[in-house]
Amino acid sequence: MHFPEILLKKRNGGRLSAAEIDYFVSGYVKGTIPDYQMSALLMAIWFVGLNDTETAELTFAMRDSGETIDLSGITGMKVDKHSTGGVADTTTLITAPIAAACGLKVAKMSGRGLGHTGGTIDKLESIPGFRTDISMHRFREIVDHSGMSIIGQTRELVPADKLLYALRGTTGTVDNISLISSSIMSKKLASGSETIVLDVKTGNGAFMKSVKDAERLARVMVAIGQKAGKKIAALVTDMNQPLGNAVGNALEVREAIEILQGNHEGDLQKVSIALSAQLLYLSGLAQDETAATKAAIEALESGRALEQLAAMIKAQRGEPDVCINPDLLPTADRLEPIVSECSGYVTDIATDEIGLAALLLGAGRVKKTDIIDPAVGIWLMKRVGDYVEKGEELAFFHVNSTDRLEEARLRFIKAFRLGKLQPTQHPMIYTTIS
């Protein structure tokens, strides 16, 4: 094959064959196709688009560009979930224990945070001693015996995605449904689970700003999963405000534990239960979604889900007693109250700005090499629809370094918009696609 012919074919609106797609994916991974040629093809794809068949073939080629995980030796139904990302989105640390407590085997590889979105691996590593860099043999062993394990993505898993994602970021080709779908689904398919539930975020704190675009992305990813023979569904959920009240690594782990302890409710709990219920329903452990939801709630309220989280933490060398006493998690040196400058109803929260304020405190990273402080972050006291008096606390900043505290405070204050009328609430779950 000749790469320029493939490039011209796509530029002129042609449909690429599976062989052509496999050729440029494998060639780019091997280094025989240079960045400048792949950049041109990505831009052609961005302008012309890929149809559903091409998108699936791109996903499969990326999946097969490196190792795939064999979970066949694990007894029971292997499941996975993925969120497209947001602020205070700690669903994995609640959904996975609930699913495991109901008899599913959760084998999950997660990433680190970058920009205003947090990463599950960073959150877990705020637990004293917790290891996410365990061997694949140990990963499978923990899933089989303890019911769940969450580790970092290996370098050998889908190398094509790592290369293409970096190139997309520098060529203005990130926001393309086919490229987003193939990036996410190639990793999910390579991870080996039989059942996958996707949490596709929409709103001002999500990558997909409109419900329509989020639904379109969800449908494409579900179609890819179905072509690969997976049991798959996607929930389109709201990210027009932080999902939970905690923004920051140890703080988010604390909130997840408090929910599993039965001491905290709210939007984060609601979405986590819905995701767990979908995993149970798709896996055949519940006859319908109502029964699945009932089983998920029972696993949470009985304390069995909390026990599952503690078992995973212990198996991965962490301190399981954090599930009894969250004060064992890292804590910041000081609390800084952030008060409202006027009275009124919270009508809107610029969610990404909240995430960026936490980043300024040291809770996130701008580039992958940045070091995060697990103890710092933000605990929200008010949410959309709440009434606030002038001088009342909107949040508490958990602070170690004050270098950028004022910048973070100003960004946070501007993110909260107040009005005289109580706003109409967005639904937490817009639709389920299966």
Name the residues annotated as catalytic: 82, 161, 168, 183, 187
What does the block give as tokens for 160? 């094509």
3-state secondary structure of 339: strand
| Alpha carbon distance 294, 220 (integer Å) | 29
Non-local CB neighbours of 325 within 8 Å, separated by 6+ positions:
none
DSSP string of 50-113, one letter each residue:
--HHHHHHHHHHHHTTSB----TTS-S-EEEEEE---SS--THHHHHHHHHHTT-EEEEEE---
Strands 344-349 and 416-419: antiparallel
Please, what is the Cα angle at 238 between 228 and 408, to 5 degrees?
Answer: 120
- In angstroms, the Cα distances linking 71 to 136, 141, 339 are 10, 10, 50
Q: How far apart are the first and last CA of the chain?
A: 37
| Alpha carbon distance 327, 67 (integer Å) | 40
